[in-house]
């Protein structure tokens, strides 16, 4: 794994993504396994295509901007899961993605259907080896733009 | 002349609710013996049994039941199909009878769920000491709560919200009013877990579980069982006039799974398989949604009931909100839905649900539903969804004459 450096050339911690379909670098993005035969996209390790049954896949980039097609604000979850949080189905240019909405208040006044969002990453913290796990969510495009 | 029709000869459901002194076998036995008694037959008349108890799916509930009510050596199918387990047991017996393997069979569903919390996403492993990839997503840590939600209230909340995004008109209040209807309906059902009416304010002000579903908008975890005796047309003709009069015709029995759709592995698609099952069921039965006098559908959450109005074609595509707003689905409306109180109020002892909803419909068709009788009911539909997914639909008709 590439060991990132900061501007002064000082070594930063190793990083690992929360899931293997998140890719980091200058432009973090999600990747999907796309069926070569029918174009169906999947985020998990595949045995074959659930749409057509063929077995050849290639990795394709998923658009990082999207629109909230459905959401819920989870107030009751397993012990250890911080609540409330916003779980959503995001339509990324035709590819549906499951994610939390982050960098937004978890209440119905701040989250809406059709809201434009973009991929954002965050740190889950370091493990005992000093490796930092990086997760992803989607944040409102508007708030982000306003902040610029 | 006999044909390949099959009939419900006897059917029974236990009181849904808390049964601290009864175990699953007690509840299953009460339902099974009740169904046999209702049909005027005995365990020795049964040629096949199918049984389900989702929380004990590997425990052989069918054989455990036999050891209490009759070990007759017949084939037993223990089935598990999420919340469609009961419908799957029923359909297994229907298939065996239709196939001519026997002329009568028993389907049983039972569950003890009182006091259970979240049935999925109810626990999450703590993070490992080192980030190591696991599973099909190569996740280095548990993803529930980090990449969306695995909780059922949250999943079904999104399913209702998605409908709202597609067609408009939904709101927290609209979903709460669906729940208000079902809690009102259950006041007439002595076998329901909860039979107190709840005001809109109470429902909206209750504990939020997963917006827009508050606690009373979620299916009620409870104990209960239901069972049915299925008989072939040929056999029914040999039985007493009173048994024939009370027999209820199974006009359609359908089970589907979810066909691949673009987003179905991201957010479960409970729509396509329900619509497919409904189309097939209407075709099998030779009836349309306009012919239904009552519908028991899988309102595991208030947000789910709305989408199934559309999936079962009770309203035009995209018209579920207007359909509900018209008052159609209240018990005095044109298309009563969940007059039992539904899963939100009658309760949802998982494997019992897919037979208990058939019991409800059958009760009305027999004219035996007491205070909540839908007058003159002759055709009804019972629907369940098991997430994963499985959809079971049974259409039932009153015996002619």
Same domain, B159 and B283: yes
pLDDT of residue B356: 98
Domain count, chain A: 2
Cα–Cα–Cα angle for B226, B254, B317, rounded to 5 degrees: 110
Examine the fold and report which residue of A12, A43, A63 is the final residue of a domain before the chain moves on. A63
Q: Answer whether residue A10 shows pLDDT above 90.
A: no
Asked if A19's CB is within 8 angstroms of B137's CB, the reply is yes
Is B124 in contact with A78 (Cβ distance < 8 A)? yes
CA B258 – CA B261 distance, rounded (Å): 8
List, in sequence order, the alpha helices (H) in A22-140.
Answer: none
A87 lies in the same domain as A59:
no
Lowest mean pLDDT among A57-66, B14-23, B121-130, B373-382: B121-130
Non-local (6+) Cβ contacts of B238 within 8 A are none
Q: B234 and B287 share a domain?
A: no
B267 and A89 within 8 Å at the Cβ level: the answer is yes
Helix, strand or coil for residue B8? strand
User: What's A105's domain CATH number?
Assistant: 2.40.50
Q: Is the dihedral of CA B151, B145, A148, A61 positive or negative?
A: negative
Q: Which residues in A lie closer than 8 A to residue B158 (C-beta atoms)?
A: 70-72, 87-89
Same domain, B358 and B213: yes
Chosen from B211, B258, B264, B301 to mutate, greatest number of chain A CBs within 10 A: B211
Going along B160-304, which residue ranges are E strands? Answer: 208-211, 213-214, 224-232, 248-257, 294-296
Nearest to A72 among B130, B158, B165 (CB): B158
Q: Hey, is the C-beta of A70 within 8 angstroms of any chain B C-beta?
A: yes
- Which of B121, B141, B155 minimises the CB distance to A78? B121
Are residues A2 and A75 both part of a single domain? Answer: yes
Contact A1/B at CB under 8 A: no
pLDDT at A148: 37
Cβ contact B329:B337 at 8 Å: yes
Total domains in the fold of chain B: 2
- Mean pLDDT value across residues B250-267: 97
Alpha helices per DSSP H over B247-301: 271-285
* Same-domain status, A109 and A82: yes
- Residue B88's CATH number: 3.40.47.10
Chain B residues in contact with A112 by the CB 8 A cut-off are none
CA B113/CA B19 separation, integer angstroms:
10
Same domain, B56 and B177: no
Decide if B161 and A114 are in contact by the 8 Å CB cutoff: no
- Looking at the fold, whether B365 and B296 belong to one and the same domain comes out as yes
| B171 falls within a domain | yes
**Interchain CB distance below 8 Å, A135 and B131:** no
B184 and B324 inside one domain: yes
Same domain? B174 vs B39? no
Mean of per-residue pLDDT scores for chain A: 91
Predicted confidence (pLDDT) at residue B223 exceeds the cutoff of 60: yes
One domain for residues B187 and B330: yes
Q: What is the pLDDT of residue B119?
A: 78
Q: Which domain holds residue A2?
A: 1-21+64-148
Asked if the C-beta of B167 comes within 8 angstroms of chain A's C-beta atoms, the answer is: no
Q: Are residues A102 and A51 in the same domain?
A: no
Which residues in chain A have their CB less than 8 angstroms from residue B149's CB? 72, 74, 77, 85, 87
**pLDDT tens for each residue of B178-222:** 999 999 999 999 999 999 999 999 999 999 999 999 999 999 999
Residues of chain A with C-beta less than 8 angstroms from the C-beta of B141: 18, 124, 133
**Residues B77 and B185 grouped into a single domain:** no
Measured between alpha carbons, how far is B315 from B309 in angstroms, rounded to an integer? Answer: 6
- What pLDDT was estimated at residue A146? 45
A9 pLDDT band, cuts 50/70/90, is low
B168 touches chain A (CB under 8 A): no
Q: Would residue B128 count as lying in a domain?
A: no
Over 70: is that where the pLDDT of B338 sits?
yes
* Domain assignment present for B1: no
- Compute the mean pLDDT over every residue in chain B, rounded to the nearest whole number: 96
A55 and A92 fall within a common domain: no
In A89-108, the residues whose Cβ lies within 8 Å of chain B are: 89, 94-100, 108
Burial state string for B292-301 with b = 16 or more CB within 10 A and e = fewer than 16: bbbbbbbbbb
A89 and A114 in a common domain: yes
Please report the pLDDT score of residue A143 as a whole number: 58
pLDDT band at A6 (very low <50, low <70, confident <90, very high): low
* In-domain check, residue B122: no
B209 Cβ under 8 Å from any chain A Cβ: yes
Of B194, B240, B237, residue with least CA distance to B217 = B194
Mark whether A34 and A91 lie in a shared domain: no
A81 and A101 housed in the same domain? yes
Output the pLDDT for position A8: 58
Chain B, nearest residue to A127 by Cα: B130
What ipTM does the predicted assembly reach? 0.94
- Residues B244-253 have a mean pLDDT of 98
- Does the pLDDT at position B120 exceed 90? no
A4: pLDDT strictly greater than 80: no
Whether residue B130 lies inside any domain: the answer is no
Residue A145 above 60 pLDDT? no
Same-domain check for residues A81 and A112: yes
Report pLDDT for A147: 40
**Same-domain pairing of B235 and B356:** no
pLDDT band at A2, cuts 50/70/90?
A: very low
**Domain of B213?**
152-219+251-398
Judgement on whether residues A33 and A17 belong to the same structural domain of the protein: no
Residues B344 and B203 in one domain: yes
- pLDDT tens-digit readout, B127-143: 889 999 999 999 999 99
Examine residue B133 and state whether it is found in any structural domain, yes or no: no
* In a shared domain, residues A98 and A41: no
- Residues within 8 A of B (CB atoms), A 14-33 only: 16-21
Residue whose entry in the numeric block shows the structure tokens 């239904």: B292
Q: Are residues A71 and A17 in the same domain?
A: yes
Interface size A-B, in CB pairs within 8 Å, comes to: 163
Residue B69 lies in a domain: yes
Are B215 and B335 contained in the same domain? yes
Has residue B136 been placed in a domain?
no
pLDDT digits (tens, 9 = 90+) for B39-76: 999 999 999 999 999 999 999 999 999 999 999 999 99
């Amino acid at each position: 794994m590439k060991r990132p450096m900061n501007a002064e050339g000082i070594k930063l911690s190793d990083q690992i993504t929360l899931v293997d379909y998140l890719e980091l670098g200058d432009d973090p993005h999600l990747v999907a396994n796309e069926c070569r035969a029918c174009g169906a996209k999947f985020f998990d390790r595949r045995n074959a295509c659930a749409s057509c049954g063929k077995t050849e896949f290639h990795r394709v980039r998923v658009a990082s901007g999207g629109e909230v097609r459905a959401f819920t604000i989870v107030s009751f979850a397993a012990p250890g899961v911080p609540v409330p949080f916003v779980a959503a189905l995001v339509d990324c240019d035709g590819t549906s993605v499951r994610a939390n909405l982050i960098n937004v208040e978890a209440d119905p006044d701040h989250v809406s259907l059709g809201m434009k969002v973009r991929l954002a990453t965050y740190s889950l913290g370091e493990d005992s080896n000093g490796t930092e796990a990086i997760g992803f969510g989607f944040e409102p495009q508007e708030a982000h733009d306003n902040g610029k | 002349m006999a044909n390949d029709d099959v009939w419900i000869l006897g059917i029974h459901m236990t009181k849904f609710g808390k049964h601290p002194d009864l175990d699953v076998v007690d509840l299953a036995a009460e339902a099974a013996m009740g169904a046999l008694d209702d049909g005027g037959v005995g365990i020795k008349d049964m040629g096949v049994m199918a049984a389900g108890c989702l929380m004990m799916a590997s425990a052989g509930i069918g054989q455990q039941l036999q050891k209490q009510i009759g070990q007759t050596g017949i084939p037993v199918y223990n089935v598990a199909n999420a919340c469609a387990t009961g419908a799957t047991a029923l359909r297994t017996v229907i298939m065996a009878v239709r196939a001519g393997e026997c002329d009568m069979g028993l389907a049983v569903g039972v569950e003890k769920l009182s006091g259970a919390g979240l049935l999925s996403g109810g626990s999450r492993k703590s993070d490992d000491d080192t980030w190591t990839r696991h599973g099909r997503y190569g996740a280095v840590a548990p993803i529930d709560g980090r990449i969306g939600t695995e909780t059922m209230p949250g999943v079904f909340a999104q399913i209702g919200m998605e409908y709202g995004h597609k067609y408009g008109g939904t709101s927290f209040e609209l979903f709460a009013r669906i729940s208000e209807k079902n809690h009102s309906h259950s006041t007439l059902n002595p076998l329901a877990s909860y039979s107190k009416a709840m005001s809109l304010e109470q429902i909206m002000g209750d504990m939020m579980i997963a917006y827009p579903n508050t606690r009373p908008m979620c299916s009620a975890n409870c104990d209960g069982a239901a069972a049915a005796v299925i008989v072939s047309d040929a056999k029914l003709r040999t039985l007493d006039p009173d048994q024939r009069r009370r027999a209820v015709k199974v006009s359609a029995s359908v089970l589907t799974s979810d066909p691949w759709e673009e987003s179905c592995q991201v957010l479960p698609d409970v729509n396509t398989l329900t619509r497919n099952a409904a189309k097939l069921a209407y075709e099998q039965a030779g009836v349309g949604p306009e012919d239904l006098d009552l519908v028991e559908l899988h309102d595991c959450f208030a947000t789910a009931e709305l989408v199934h109005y559309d999936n079962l074609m009770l309203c035009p595509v995209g018209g579920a909100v207007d359909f509900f707003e018209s008052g159609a689905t209240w018990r005095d409306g044109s298309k009563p839905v969940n007059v039992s109180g539904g899963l939100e109020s009658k309760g949802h002892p998982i494997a019992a649900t897919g037979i208990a909803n058939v019991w409800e419909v059958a009760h009305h068709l027999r004219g035996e539903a007491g205070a909540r009788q839908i007058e003159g009911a002759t055709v009804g539909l019972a629907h369940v969804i098991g997430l994963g997914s499985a959809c079971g639909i049974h259409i039932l008709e009153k015996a002619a004459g």
